[in-house]
Amino acid sequence: MGQIEKFPQPHRPAPDAAAHKLVVIGNGMAAGRLLEEFFARNTTPARVTLFGAEPRVNYNRIMLSPVLSGEKSFNDIVIHDDAWYAAHSVDLRRGEAVVAIDRAAKYVETAGGDRVSYDKLVIATGSMPFIIPVPGANLPGVVSFRDLDDVEKMHAACDAGGHAVVIGGGLLGLEAAAGLAVKGMKVSVVHLMPHLMERQLDPSAGYLLKNAIAARGIDVFTEANTDAILGDDRVTGVKLKDGRVLPADLVVMAVGIRPNATLAKAAGLDTNRGVIVDDLMRTSDADIYAVGECVEHRGQTYGLVAPLYDMAKTLAAELAGEKPAGFVPAATSTKLKVTGIDLFSVGDFSDDDENNEVVLRDPSRGVYKRVILRDEKVVGAVLYGDTADGAWYFDLLKKGEDVSAIRDMLIFGQAYQGGSPMDPTAAVAALPDDAEICGCNGVNKGAIVKAIQSGLTTLDEVRANTKASASCGQCAGKVDLLLAATLGDTFQAARKHMCKCTDLTHEEVRGFIREKQLKSLPAVMQELGWKSSGGCPSCQPALNYYLIATWPGEYRDDYQARFINERVHANIQKDGTYSVVPRMWGGVTTPDELRVIADLADRYKLMVKVTGGQRIDLLGVKKADLPAVWAQLLNAGMVSGFAYAKGLRTVKTCVGKDWCRFGTQDSTGLGIKLEKLMCGSWTPAKVKLAVSGCPRNCAEATIKDIGVICVDSGYDIHVSGAAGLHVRATDLLGHVETEEEALEVCAAILQAYREQSAYLERVYKWVDKFGLENLRKLIFEDHDARKGLYERFMISQRAARKDPWAERAAGKDMHEFMPLAVLGPKSPVAAE
């Protein structure tokens, strides 16, 4: 396959002194298309000399993946064979690399010392694979994936068997991984970004792609950074930044390409990332042109074949003496060449404020479709699992057609256009009785309607009786519509949907996250049939919290899904500045801490305010100053007070028995222990505690979410207080005798709240819904359940205190620095 002897050197045409001398450096796809277009146009004689560094004729590099997997041979992907070059009198110099261009004398020089003169010169040197600069990158067994030589090296490795690691989860990397897996190697893909093919796919499609790749036996490691390639005489493994080591007999670098402008730069042509050209592909030398991946046009470089072919067409017209309009880059689409995986991407799919979207998900078939609109025109599309309408969406995008008239049916594809959209309730009612509503459980419309007619009035009742919507939940909206259509005016949708992105409630979403083992935002949105691609400001923070609470230590907190205050660890104020509240454990501080606060107030001209939670608030901090303010506080051992958090805010205390003549227990000491125990715990809404040393209740424990009143015989535990818009006194939950029991009980209450409450639901609302007596039984009568809650709380705390954001702390952006303010290296709880 691809050996030199298969293609003997063709007979070189006799020189024609009168012919125009055209020299082309590079024999890739751009150069090949250029010559095709040129010969189709040119009527004047031309002596064409073509230099190719590879010892082969021109072939389709896009199809290297099928050659790697064995689906095609080299002969199947040849574009121009020897006969084609001979027929067009092309002097093909394959295996001859050009090493220099003499612009003054107008000739090129080869590595063998041969000099060939030109009238016009075309540089088509393509691109070079980017090799990440890590130790071991030059070891034998490390290859790129750009040409047939790379494929032959991979075939040799496949013959020996073993493990392959592909670094890079883009198009080329995944195609290489799939090919190597087909050839029998155990393959791992290491990708730096959160999801695969992030340039072409959004997170939802990336999630589906990862599942499909994993289903082929390929291990996928996202958010994984390569630290070193291991081995002495040849590669033996890949070490990641987090310390994991992946065995490797072969390492494929597929992390990207860079234009090969080396020759042009050495010749003194204008270069930047690539060879700089104008709209007619002219370089800074009037007799030299450039085309293909080596080119930089209006600040942009290209790696897909469609724009390269457009460049070739423009340049061919220019060389033939025509007056072309000039190269104008057009939108390009992307497809993955892996058998059995259908995906399509085109245009802009960013979360731009001017964009809106139409999304369709079918979890049972693994289908995801997203069409992005701006001003009622298609500007992008991402399709996974069903790409039949990709060309249609691409055509709408290129033509810039107004789709407002078909917007309601747009997502269903070209075949569904032309009909008049129906009212959703009427549309579901018009379905035949045998139409499947719940694909997961095989429940049709007739069975659901019959159940409703038997006396069911709510979705929960229908779910319990028919199993419709009991699995993935995506059909809940259709069941609601059937309830409305069947019951008519008597139907009242009592369900409170989580947000506009889903027909599910908070409780249903939390249940499905546990039952279906969903451990990422894209997984939740795809498997539960989200109506948007990435959620909305209402559901993003809620889902992020539910995943943190359900999978501590497994799910990586997504700071982008948090509110601004949580992202910068400070509360934004009316004038756009921020307030910073360092933690004072139990309301206790020291002279040294006060000096630091005074210094900061002087330096940044801040207002100093004592808060109701027995802390000091620094008001008026500019956003740009937040990192410096926190750095100074952290250096003094003062960590975040979480005044912004959906989490523990404060534990208010009185001085207790050590100082007060009425005190019965060490309320300050218990308050500090509670605060250190619970600090860093994310909760559905803000949580405040207090410990009063006697029934006189100076710490106001009876208006807190959890309050402790110290009495002679121990500790009374109160719950469900509030002192905001809704003022509510606590209820007595129970009594314990020891401080250790008080700590365990308070943590168990908090964990029960964390596991069961809806996002943004305060403790008192959750207890009202859950039932005070049920909570009392759970905490004070079922001791095994209480122990379990406490143990799960501690597992969550250990995971939280590893602070997964801290590894970003070396960065310059606000969200990259601020995570250290969560606990800080000197925090008294950091080591626990």
Q: How many CB atoms lie within 10 A of CB 437?
A: 23
Q: Are 235 and 139 in contact (CB under 8 A)?
A: yes
The binding site for [4Fe-4S] cluster comprises 654, 660, 694, 698
Spatial CA neighbour of 503 closest among 473, 525, 523: 473
Q: What would the DSSP string read from start to end of 540-559?
A: HHHHHHHHHHHSTTTSPP-G
Give me the long-range contacts of 706-710 (CB less than 8 A, separation at least 24). 706/746, 706/749, 706/750, 706/763, 708/667, 708/670, 708/674, 708/742, 708/746, 710/656, 710/657, 710/663, 710/664, 710/665, 710/667, 710/670
The binding site for siroheme comprises 698
Q: Are 457 and 446 in contact (CB under 8 A)?
A: no
Can you tell me the distance from the alpha carbon of 314 to that of 309, in angstroms, rounded to the nearest whole number? 9
Half-sphere exposure of 248 (CA within 13 A, CB side): 35
| Residue that is written with structure tokens 């064409």 in the block | 48
Write the DSSP symbol of residue 300: B
Q: Are 214 and 220 in contact (CB under 8 A)?
A: yes
The binding site comprises 654, 660, 694, 698
Number of helices (H), then strands (E), in the chain? 25, 40
CA dihedral of residues 819, 822, 827, 832 (deg, nearest 10):
-100
Please provide residue 724's backbone torsions phi and psi, each rounded to the nearest 5 degrees: -100, -130
What H or E segment, with its residue span, contains residue 449? helix 445-453
Q: Are 677 and 691 in contact (CB under 8 A)?
A: no
Can you tell me the distance from the alpha carbon of 779 to that of 533, in angstroms, rounded to the nearest whole number? 40
Buried b (16+ CB within 10 A) or exposed e, 369-384: bbbbbeeeebbbbbbb
Residues belonging to the chain: 832
Can you tell me the distance from the alpha carbon of 399 to that of 331, in angstroms, rounded to the nearest whole number? 11
